[in-house]
Structure 1
Amino acid sequence: MRAPGDVVGGRTALVTGAGNGLGRAIALALAGHGARVVLVGRTRRPLEETAALVGDAARVALCDVSDPASVDTLAAELADESISILVNNAGVAGPVADLVDVRPDEWDEVFAVNVRGTYLVSRAFLPPMLARGTGDVVNIASVSGKRPLPGRTPYTASKMAVLGLTTTLAHEVGPQGVMVNSISPGPVAGPRMERNFAREAERSGTTPQAAEAEFVSRAALRRMVTEDEVATATVAVLCVPGLCGADIDLSAGMVAR
């Protein structure tokens, strides 16, 4: 494994969904190893908060990753940047409901951000990498794409789609020097999971604490992973020679096979 500073230092990374949560943690980790980081999201204020934490190595850019015109505008705006690391992190959790109770617009929103967004941003920023013959794409998937999660069909289906996108894209662009991999976090401790547990509790008639306890009981470590652990894994993926088309399970043992 190569040293992070040698692999990341001096490069420019684009991180979607960088205003908070995993995106912010990943941006901070990349900047900590010497990367210039372009912080992308739909809302300026949280992106600027992340930029303040990153420092001079940050650039803020607004974009709705589900909108082709917005992504095209982003690519034009960043034409002066030599982006060689792309982290497709933007995502939405979607509804907590049985499939028969999920509205079509709720289903479409999840796929628009989680899958279409990954496709659109990759399509926009891969050509310069291919022209240079080098680059890295890291897609943030989820263990929910690899095992049942009742009440979360749109989310799990979208994350399985991201896994399929990753493996196929790796074979398309790998011969030209671009590495494509994914990371599948398990439940990540933080406000997003707290909201999920609250919705699950309301749906099932239990308490948020009981919903969380049942959820983490499936993990070997009986806990959730942290944002910093996912950020560390993102940097690590970039440092492993020959890693292409792989999915890294980071779930505290929630998925073991």
Structure 2
Amino acid sequence: MTQRVVITGGASGIGLTLARRFAERGDRVALCDADAAAVAQVQADHPEMLARQANVTDEAQMQAFFDEVGAALGGVDVLCANAGTGGPAGRIEDLDYDEWQSCIAVSVHGTFLACRWAARLMREQGSGLIIMTTSTSGMYGVPHRSPYVAAKWGIVGMTKTLAMELGPVGVRVNAIAPGAVEGARMERVVQMEAKASGRTEEEMRAVYVKGNSLRTWVTADHLADMALFLASPAAEKISGQVMAVDGHTESMVS
């Protein structure tokens, strides 16, 4: 059955892979992203998708996007509240307050705006699925990454709470917790954490590999596999869960 799928932070990385995979199975996809160039590339490569520039922390921009999505799709079956940012790295006493606020705003406030919109429609429909992107950092403490960790723990809390609020009307809410995901964003994180910790980039990569049972990184397609499963009839009784796709994290510190 064709589903109407909306993805925030959908023009690159995990979000773009989610958009591509949902579209490949025949779903109608709408996405937003703050990166104008990335959105333009999606529009060129995937004219079948509705792709718009919008900053998830700007209520007016997001409402304009949601209004257009509502008119184009007539509703929403799956929301992937995926937008996030790595935030700064450093000891808590050295962090800049504006950078802290920016990290929290994208992950937490942006997820709130997307979930509020979807919840209103899904409650009316009596059905729907919300998938939030958290992180294994939302399950463990990570030195030098307190803003990111706080934001991702916040998303876990939202997942649990919204599952309770919306479950009685037939709406499921889950989160996907990626481990270390191959790609440009993770390379930037490695560079940032290496600088903050005084280690080399190679040493930081080794920490991530050593920290999970499978001794490997994951790919965006592994995360999309989980999202597609959650959006399938096979997962109709799964709600309020944080689905880690991480090779089984044993430790975030080494």
Scaled by the length of structure 1, the TM-score of the pair is 0.92
Match of 1:89 among 60, 82, 90: 82
Matches within 5 A, 1:50-65: 50-56=42-48, 58-65=49-56
CA distance in 2, matches of 1:106, 1:43: 18
Is the counterpart of residue 185 in structure 1 residue 185 in structure 2? no
Scaled by the length of structure 2, the TM-score of the pair is 0.93
Of stretches 211-220 and 154-163 in structure 1, the one that deviates more from structure 2 is: 211-220
Matches within 5 A, 1:109-120: 109-120=102-113
Q: Show the counterpart of 1:137.
A: 130
CA distance in 2, matches of 1:147, 1:175: 30
CA distance in 1, matches of 2:78, 2:43: 18
CA distance in 2, matches of 1:245, 1:98: 32
Matches within 5 A, 1:4-153: 9-56=1-48, 58-80=49-71, 81=73, 82-153=75-146
CA distance in 1, matches of 2:224, 2:45: 15
Q: Show the counterpart of 2:155.
A: 162
Is the counterpart of residue 226 in structure 1 residue 219 in structure 2? yes
Match of 1:172 among 155, 158, 165: 165
Structure 1 counterpart of 2:225, one-letter code: T
CA distance in 2, matches of 1:138, 1:54: 22
Structure 2 counterpart of 1:241, one-letter code: E
Q: Identical aligned pairs, as a percentage?
A: 32
Give deviations 1:168-217, integer Å, cap 9, x for gaps: 00110111111111010111111111111112222233221111112221
Structure 2 counterpart of 1:103, one-letter code: D
Query: Please, which runs of 5 or more residues in structure 1 have no aligned partner?
Result: 1-8
Of stretches 163-172 and 198-207 in structure 1, the one that deviates more from structure 2 is: 198-207
Structure 2 counterpart of 1:226, one-letter code: T
CA distance in 2, matches of 1:11, 1:89: 18
Give deviations 1:21-43, integer Å, cap 9, x for gaps: 00011111111111110021112
Give deviations 1:99-158, integer Å, cap 9, x for gaps: 111111111101100001000111122212111111110000100011121000000111
User: How well do the aligned residues superpose, as a CA RMSD in angstroms?
Assistant: 1.4
8 A Cα contact 1:143 1:255, kept in partner: no
- Local SS of the residue matching 2:214: coil
CA distance in 1, matches of 2:245, 2:154: 18
How many Å apart are 1:51 and its aligned residue?
4.1
Structure 1 counterpart of 2:29, one-letter code: V
- Local SS of the residue matching 1:78: helix
8 A Cα contact 2:13 2:220, kept in partner: yes
Aligned length: 247
CA distance in 2, matches of 1:63, 1:163: 24
CA distance in 2, matches of 1:53, 1:83: 23
Query: Please, which runs of 5 or more residues in structure 2 have no aligned partner?
Result: none
8 A Cα contact 1:75 1:125, kept in partner: no
